[in-house]
């Protein structure tokens, strides 16, 4: 996907290529595409992705606050709304199809927690360009997975719908918009800011790969499930919230 001014997005995408190729080949993605992924692993993914999406929407809203003009503010607000309405609605559907319920005090797995913290840190201290660089792999990688597996036939009602969502035209348009925006912001940034933008893009790409592994291995905190001094489960003390 090459759009917009300059080729900064192409450059960071190239730097992240091996990480992305590992994501494309990860057993979680490959088994989802062929319909053999155990639902227990997808359920672990959905629970943690729902947590992550809450943070992701918050970071999109923070990006709107960093924007200098009304059209850009409006677009980031629209992206945050899309995350809330479209992706959370999809996850609610998955929760129902999987027969699982939301937990009031859900404790995200370590990788989901750390990825969310990375985005929050960039949103708190970084420029608009840095925020876009940090969040773009989430959009762009999923779109490439959707394109790569567009013709896959999992013959599984949940996995069919997941692939259809991320190969959809509406999602591709959101990705193209953010790729354009990254190129425009990079063109106006200093060399030091562009270096930070590239770093955040690569770190987020690492976390995207780690997220598949987290789901596939049912990653959890070592202390999860242990009794605390007051007899409550450690998991009940997790952060509230539901991928941004």
Report if residue 42 sits inside a domain: yes
Report if residue 240 sits inside a domain: no
Report if residue 237 sits inside a domain: no
**What are 71-95's pLDDT values in tens digits?**
999 999 988 988 888 777 877 899 9
Answer for the pair 244, 59: CB distance below 8 angstroms, yes or no.
yes
Between the alpha carbon of residue 42 and those of residues 76, 137, 139, 220, the distances in Å are: 29, 20, 19, 15
User: 110-125: string of b/e by CB count within 10 Å (b at 16+)?
Assistant: bbbbebbebbbebbee
Catalytic (active-site) positions: 138, 208
Contacts of 133 by beta carbon, 8 Å cutoff, 6+ apart: 12, 182, 196, 197, 198, 200, 201, 204
| CA 193/CA 134 separation, integer angstroms | 13
User: For the whole model, what pTM was predicted?
Assistant: 0.88
Q: How many domains does the chain have?
A: 1
> For residue 47, what is the domain's CATH number?
1.20.910.10
Report if residue 165 sits inside a domain: yes
Angle, alpha carbons 121-122-123 (nearest 5°) = 90
Range of 195's domain? 8-219
199 — alpha (psi -120 to 50), left (phi > 0) or beta? alpha
The pLDDT value given to residue 6 = 53
| CA 160/CA 42 separation, integer angstroms | 13
Report if residue 226 sits inside a domain: no
Report if residue 224 sits inside a domain: no
Contacts of 70 by beta carbon, 8 Å cutoff, 6+ apart: none
Residues in the chain predicted with pLDDT less than 70, given as ranges, are 1-6, 226-244
**What are 143-154's pLDDT values in tens digits?**
999 999 999 999
């Amino acid at each position: 996907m090459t759009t917009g001014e300059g080729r900064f997005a192409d450059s960071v995408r190239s730097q992240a290529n091996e990480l992305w190729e590992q994501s494309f080949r990860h057993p979680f993605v490959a088994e989802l595409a062929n319909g053999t992924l155990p639902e227990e692993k997808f359920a672990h993914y959905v629970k943690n992705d729902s947590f992550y999406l809450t943070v992701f929407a918050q970071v999109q809203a923070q990006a709107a606050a960093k924007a200098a003009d009304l059209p850009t503010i409006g677009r980031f607000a629209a992206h945050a709304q899309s995350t809330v309405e479209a992706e959370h609605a999809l996850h609610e559907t998955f929760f129902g199809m999987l027969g699982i319920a939301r937990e009031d005090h859900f404790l995200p797995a370590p990788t989901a927690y750390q990825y969310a913290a990375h985005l929050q840190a960039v949103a708190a201290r970084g420029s608009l360009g840095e925020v876009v660089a940090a969040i773009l792999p989430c959009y762009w990688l999923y779109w490439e997975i959707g394109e790569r597996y567009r013709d896959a036939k999992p013959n599984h009602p949940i996995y069919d719908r997941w692939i259809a969502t991320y190969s959809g035209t509406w999602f591709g348009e959101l990705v193209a918009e953010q790729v354009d925006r990254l190129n425009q912001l990079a063109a106006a940034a200093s060399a030091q800011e562009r270096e930070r933008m590239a770093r955040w893009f690569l770190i987020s790409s690492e976390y995207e790969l780690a997220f598949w592994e987290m789901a596939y291995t049912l990653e959890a905190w070592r202390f999860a499930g242990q009794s605390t001094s007051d007899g409550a489960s450690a998991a009940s003390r997790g952060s509230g919230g539901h991928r941004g």
